[in-house]
């Protein structure tokens, strides 16, 4: 399915101080960015394109894990999905709330280290989850993005494995999780012991930067009962 070229338009919005805030527009969505939150870059856009096609093909409950500015959650909310946005960084959640308000959209926003702090009422209810994990490491082994360290994290691949373990009970039977993964990772080994199944993956490349990833989809099997 083809949705046409992705365009970003820039405007300015008065802030509470003297500095003006840029409004970015993408596929009919408006969003702000902030220097302390990972920006919408090539990897973000690659995942966004895949998420957009999936949410336009269905409906239900959507989880934007590690939501940052909330772009994927905004897209799902705009398409009528029930949305849960999760991030461990309070300033990211504040930005996500601002972006929801900017678009006149609603979602539940939750501070949590992955899913350990998410209300149990979401267990077994998620139809689609999306996660763009950090994929770089510092010399000390901690994950980082754009120089923003994620203290106390395992290696990026360890973080993805942990996220799949925590995602499994939140997905409904037949629910799916799409994760942007480094090309050198073996997608088949990541869900070991989670109860999730590898549904498939798609090779993605940003033509301008040459960055290459896999969009990997895992699913929770439907109950046989």
55-103 pLDDT tens trace: 999 999 999 999 999 999 999 999 999 999 999 999 999 999 999 999 9
Beta bridge partners of 202: 215
> What are the angstrom distances between the C-alpha of 122 and each of 56, 82, 110, 112?
22, 11, 12, 13
For residue 172, the 8-state DSSP code is E
pLDDT tens digit sequence for 17-36? 434 479 999 999 999 999 88
What whole-number distance in Å separates Cα of residue 25 and Cα of residue 32? 9
Cα separation, 1 vs 52, in Å, equals 10
Provide the pLDDT for residue 16. 44
Higher confidence at residue 6 or residue 177? Answer: 177
Q: What is the mean pLDDT of the chain?
A: 85
Q: Is the pLDDT of residue 41 over 70?
A: yes
Residue 141: predicted pLDDT: 44
For 222, the token pair is 């439907």
Please state, in angstroms and as integers, the Cα–Cα distance from residue 207 to each residue in 46, 72, 87, 143, 187, following that order. 11, 21, 29, 25, 23
Residue 225: pLDDT band with limits 50, 70, 90: low
> Average pLDDT in the 109-124 region?
95
Residue 207's pLDDT is: 87
Q: Distance (Å, rounded) from C-alpha 65 to C-alpha 217?
A: 14
CB half-sphere exposure, 81, CA atoms < 13 A: 29
Say if residue 218's pLDDT is above 50: yes
State percent of the chain over pLDDT 70: 81
Confidence of residue 155 (pLDDT cuts 50, 70, 90): confident
Domains of the chain and any CATH numbers: 37-219 (3.40.50.150)
Instruction: Say what the pLDDT of residue 153 is.
Output: 54
pLDDT surpassing 50 at residue 8: no
What per-residue confidence (pLDDT) applies to 13?
A: 46
Please check whether residue 88 is in contact with residue 163, taking contact to mean a CB–CB distance below 8 angstroms. no
Non-local (6+) Cβ contacts of 202 within 8 A are 50, 214, 215
pLDDT of residue 137: 57
pLDDT at site 70: 97
Give the distance from CA 225 to its chain's centroid: 32
Interatomic CA distance for residues 65 and 62, integer angstroms: 9
For range 35-41, the mean pLDDT: 90
Lookup: tokens for 91 = 């300033």
Closest CA to 63 of 32, 38, 84: 84
DSSP H helices in 41-145: 42-55, 71-78, 90-103
């Amino acid at each position: 399915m083809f949705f046409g070229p992705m365009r970003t338009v820039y405007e300015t919005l008065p802030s509470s101080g003297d500095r003006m805030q840029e409004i970015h527009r993408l596929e009919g969505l408006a969003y702000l960015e902030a220097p302390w939150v990972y920006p919408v870059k090539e990897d973000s856009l690659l995942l966004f394109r895949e998420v957009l096609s999936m949410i336009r093909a269905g409906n239900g409950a959507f989880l934007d894990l590690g939501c940052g500015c909330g772009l994927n959650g905004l897209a799902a909310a705009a398409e009528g999905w029930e949305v849960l946005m999760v991030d461990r960084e309070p300033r990211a959640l504040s930005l996500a709330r601002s972006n929801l308000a900017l678009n006149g959209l609603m979602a539940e926003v939750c501070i949590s280290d992955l899913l350990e702090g998410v209300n149990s009422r979401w267990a077994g209810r998620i139809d689609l989850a999306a996660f763009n994990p950090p994929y770089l490491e510092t010399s000390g082994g901690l994950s980082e993005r754009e120089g923003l360290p994620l203290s106390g994290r395992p290696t990026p691949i360890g973080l993805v494995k942990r996220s799949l373990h925590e995602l499994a009970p939140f997905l409904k039977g037949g629910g799916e999780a799409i994760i942007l993964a480094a090309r050198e990772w073996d997608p088949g080994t990541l869900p070991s012991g989670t109860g999730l199944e590898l549904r498939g993956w798609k090779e993605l490349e940003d033509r301008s930067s040459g960055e290459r990833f896999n969009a990997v989809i895992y699913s929770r099997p439907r109950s046989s009962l």
